[in-house]
Structure 1
């Protein structure tokens, strides 16, 4: 247990003091050249790029733009994505491994060029990125990764110490990467997009695509329709899967972030451990003070146990390395990993070439998400792009895709059964304020959360996607699905797909009736 007080509620620093305008919901049927679903880095960058080409573009966002994964990132812009290049050479070949590096390098350069072009003040800084090993097993893997850098022509170097109080075996540097304030950057792209006549509709949930017509039509939950020549699904999880079966081809992971004022000054650079549990460090300026983002504790969504312990572990690590004075912010993030660890970007299926998706960034969304937007632009404009074959969702590599496909879906099957068999004797009437738990009501599994005002919120814990049982997330006060990563608020609303429908809810007064009979406790 850390001795430092963690903030009671999670809040991303990036969203603080941001003057992002509100946009109205879509209230009528419209027709545009391109409709984009999702107001994160990929959707906004795509909208900006296509508007620059003179296209009529509408962007739909279920909640608020920049409120999802992009607003909860670590905001590193780098092509150093952990131990990836040696693996990609072995699984995809040298040429595609090099393309993956180039795509992310080009994305970084595009961001920097755009910042200079529009004179955006977003704390952009070039930094060296360090991947470090603390034991011999990962030291050997670092050496293999360094050989992969050499094969691919990546500017890298092995060192045996860090400018931090972390004892390491070795570390691999990727030179001249970057960090920034993502929402300061993207809010300017939003402004440029709307200045060029682009339309943004918030509070507008896309639920389906009519793809059999000459032009695809996006349907919203509010029964409005957007007809377009192209549909770009840039939501975190594709709001429309078609026949791509993406929920079986990706898995969701969560990670945790604390922003800390430290006793020791930060030496510069960006750092991430090669081994587990993941530890990542980078500096950030908050209210004029230099602070540090401490990141890690990755786990599959809905499978992390008491999630507050992850924040506590990061705070303890920060105390060990830098000394801690205070922790003004904490938040968490979620991202999706594909079977071969390369994002899916392009036609959703070969039979639906006008519906494009971008997903599966594996926690490296600033570079991968920008690379995806650049590729989507070229596909809409029918321009050749040499990254197309690398990122196409139609790909399926026998190694490692087939092995990972069976592994991930076996995990889903295990949790589908396990959740149904959970036994609990919790009585929701005994929950304290700000406490949640699973309980049995008339023999059926339910979830309860008592808010700060003492009101009890009851939900059915069966995920509305494929029927797995959600788990309580103490750190975020949400119900998270361990199978495909869907997340729901404590009142049952969908926060993350692939689920589209909310959890069933119950009036807590009905609980008195149920528990007075055969409650199943």
Structure 2
């Protein structure tokens, strides 16, 4: 499974760390957030290095739909109600500035990354009132927007909210240029942070400042990000011979889909679910059925999926990791707007680290954590986490290993213990422990990705038990 971006770009190979080094700043994670932060710090004359557990942009950055927008579904009416107009304006201004910053860098560095200025649309089949409220809020925050009745989608909508002058691009082509002069150590996994020291599997990095840009923070404490957010997966197929919709669209209804074009392809997205909650599978098939109905002559060229961290109040955490770790910074919780949020994070963090004032840092501060603003979401996350801890102890499956069908996986009882079993198309059996090494939740099988996923905090492992995504930092034991 490769995204269209992965097919179009190859980063130059970087060596692993070999021993102990020192730097002013060490960034953990060579995704778009880490790269942009390091890029901006270097522009300020700060000595910075990046360490990456695998390859550059091998995580969620390569699996984006690559929309650069300040339109983040239904967000601004909610922000004004929960945080007030001033802080909502900080959020809006930060994301509007992020779009301009991308344009500036692309122009200054003369990057050929297929950047296009496009309008972004929220559409609905029945909830017009929600779009009206969002328009009113956006207007208050000085975002140029308009409510429409007609779009270029292949079906009739009741209303669509248009945000003007947004952007889309090929992120890996962009980052290939940005990384050219950065010091990056690949295949170097961070294992522990000790005050001003990052311990890796290849040596240690001593630094005055540490930036954790690992999608999901790798330290459980302090910070406690594992109770502040959960993770969700969503799916994309890229179609040839489909319509040019001339913009970026996302539906606000429960079964809404996203649409945007890249060159001669249409990217159709949807099927979102909490990570670890896709036992039935069929998310790609759902998108293929939609494509068949809307674009009967289209042909699938690529398909891929992405994972997003969802904060309890739907605002990213960008700033100091915790009050107890003043030299450690974090950027996480982008919901589903990683391209814009990563630029916002880079601007905030580079300002904070270099001692400059940032006008919109307050709304994103990880120390805000207002339980009252999002107590319902927090309660649901705690319920899910607690339920899955209990499931590890009391759920007793009835299946036996020999009953697992070819090409399928699941949890079975084997030798008196619960074991994750996958049987490939040749009948080979792969077994792993079902306990997530992060905090012990019971893993669930994802048939769409052939992976073991954690429903508590979103760690993922392949069918052999190899680590795919954090917050876990190691793989599963297996037989």
On whether the aligned pair clears a TM of 0.5, the verdict is: yes
> How far did 1:492 drift?
1.3
Q: Which runs of 5+ in 1 are unaligned?
A: 1-9, 507-521
Match of 1:82 in 2: 73
Match of 1:118 in 2: 109
> How far did 1:316 drift?
1.7
Match of 2:184 in 1: 200
Match of 2:380 in 1: 407
Structure 2 contact 401–414 (Cα < 8 Å) conserved: no
The CA deviation string for residues 440-471 of structure 1, in whole angstroms up to 9 with x for no partner, is 11232111123455432110101112221101
Structure 2 contact 320–330 (Cα < 8 Å) conserved: yes
Correspondence for 1:28 among 6, 12, 19: 19
Structure 2 contact 398–413 (Cα < 8 Å) conserved: yes
Structure 1 contact 470–480 (Cα < 8 Å) conserved: yes
Moved more, 21-30 or 409-418: 409-418
2:464 aligned with 1:491, yes or no?
Answer: yes
Match of 1:105 in 2: 96
2:413 aligned with 1:461, yes or no?
Answer: no
Match of 2:148 in 1: 159
Q: Distance in 2 between matches of 1:373 and 1:452?
A: 45
> How far did 1:25 drift?
1.2
2:241 aligned with 1:262, yes or no?
Answer: yes
The CA deviation string for residues 3-60 of structure 1, in whole angstroms up to 9 with x for no partner, is xxxxxxx221211141211111111100001100011111001111111222221100
Q: Distance in 2 between matches of 1:433 and 1:63?
A: 31
Q: Distance in 2 between matches of 1:331 and 1:505?
A: 27
Structure 1 contact 446–459 (Cα < 8 Å) conserved: yes
Match of 2:201 in 1: 221
Correspondence for 1:349 among 322, 331, 345: 322
Structure 2 contact 460–469 (Cα < 8 Å) conserved: yes
Q: Distance in 2 between matches of 1:284 and 1:382?
A: 39
2:260 aligned with 1:282, yes or no?
Answer: yes
Match of 1:517 in 2: none
Q: Distance in 1 between matches of 2:285 and 2:395?
A: 27
2:214 aligned with 1:235, yes or no?
Answer: yes
Change in 2 beyond 3 A, CA 1:326/1:419: farther
Q: Name the SS of the counterpart of 2:298 in structure 1.
A: strand
The CA deviation string for residues 194-247 of structure 1, in whole angstroms up to 9 with x for no partner, is 3xxxx2111111011111xxxx1001134x110001000001111224311000
> How far did 1:98 drift?
1.2
Match of 1:427 in 2: 400
Q: Distance in 2 between matches of 1:421 and 1:312?
A: 33
Q: Name the SS of the counterpart of 1:48 in structure 2.
A: helix
> How far did 1:267 drift?
3.1
Q: Distance in 1 between matches of 2:297 and 2:224?
A: 45
Match of 2:294 in 1: 321
Q: Distance in 2 between matches of 1:34 and 1:373?
A: 13
Q: Distance in 2 between matches of 1:453 and 1:229?
A: 52
Q: Distance in 2 between matches of 1:305 and 1:278?
A: 21
Moved more, 75-84 or 150-159: 150-159
| Residue correspondences, number | 479
Q: TM-score, normalised by structure 2?
A: 0.97
Change in 2 beyond 3 A, CA 1:324/1:362: farther
Compute the RMSD of aligned alpha carbons: 1.5
Q: Distance in 2 between matches of 1:268 and 1:344?
A: 32
> How far did 1:92 drift?
0.9
Q: Which runs of 5+ in 2 are unaligned?
A: none
Moved more, 319-328 or 468-477: 319-328
Structure 1 contact 242–348 (Cα < 8 Å) conserved: no
